[in-house]
Amino acid sequence: MIEVGKKAPAIKLPDSEGNKVSLKDFLGKKVVLYFYPKNMTSGCTQEACEFGSAFPNFKKLKTTVIGISKDSADKHKKFIEKFNLPFTLLSDENGDVCEKYGVWKEKSMYGRKYMGIERTTFIIDENGKVEKIFPKVKVNGHVDEVLKAIKGK
């Protein structure tokens, strides 16, 4: 179970170019690590585009934005290109990182139960510790909520 104040679980996943990215690459910077279900779906596209629009604000706050889903690196590349996303997307195809972060959960839609990624955002501080967790994220207003948390408001 991930807890605020504890070290964030290590990750090493491929980005949209196939380069391995590790959380420790960002020590010294804040990281917004957001998990989302699937590229090219309405809610996930809205969330990614809102993070993209707010990217200059995150940059001013010396904060890196990273999205993670189970989509392949190739699908991430298409998603980034289609919506001109200025941040990194990582591919967790086998779901190990989703499991480590506790976002792989049973969901239900129209009475049907299935396993999937529960939309969740983590703010990780400059020392690699979890600063804040946003579980069961609702897309509308979420990016502003994250920015406010980073600014300490």
Q: What is the CATH number of the domain that holds 81?
A: 3.40.30.10
Nearest to 36 by CA among 75, 7, 82, 84: 75
Q: Is 98 a catalytic residue?
A: no
Catalytic, out of 8, 13, 44, 80 = 44
Residue 27, domain extent: 12-151
Residue 75 lies in a domain: yes
Residue 45 resides in a domain:
yes
In a domain, 24, yes or no: yes
Q: Rounded to an integer, what distance in angstroms lies between the CA atom of residue 61 and that of residue 30? A: 8
Q: Is residue 80 part of a domain?
A: yes
pLDDT at 115: 86
Query: Does any domain span residue 1?
Result: no
Residue 6 is assigned to a structural domain of this protein: no
Do residues 104 and 69 lie in contact, with contact meaning Cβ atoms separated by under 8 Å? no
Cα separation values, 38 from 24, 26, 153, Å: 25, 24, 30
Residue 99 lies in a domain: yes
Q: How many CB atoms lie within 10 A of CB 132?
A: 15
Show the low-confidence residues of the chain (pLDDT under 70): 153
Does the residue 3 lie in any domain? Answer: no
pTM of the prediction?
A: 0.94
**What is the total count of domains within the chain?**
1
Report in angstroms the alpha-carbon separations of 79 from 73, 83, 104, 153. Answer: 10, 6, 22, 32
55-96 pLDDT, tens digit each: 999 999 999 999 999 999 999 999 999 999 999 999 999 999
CA–CA distance from 3 to each of 26, 90, 101, 105 (Å)?
20, 22, 10, 17
Helix axes 142-151, 42-53, angle to 10 degrees: 40
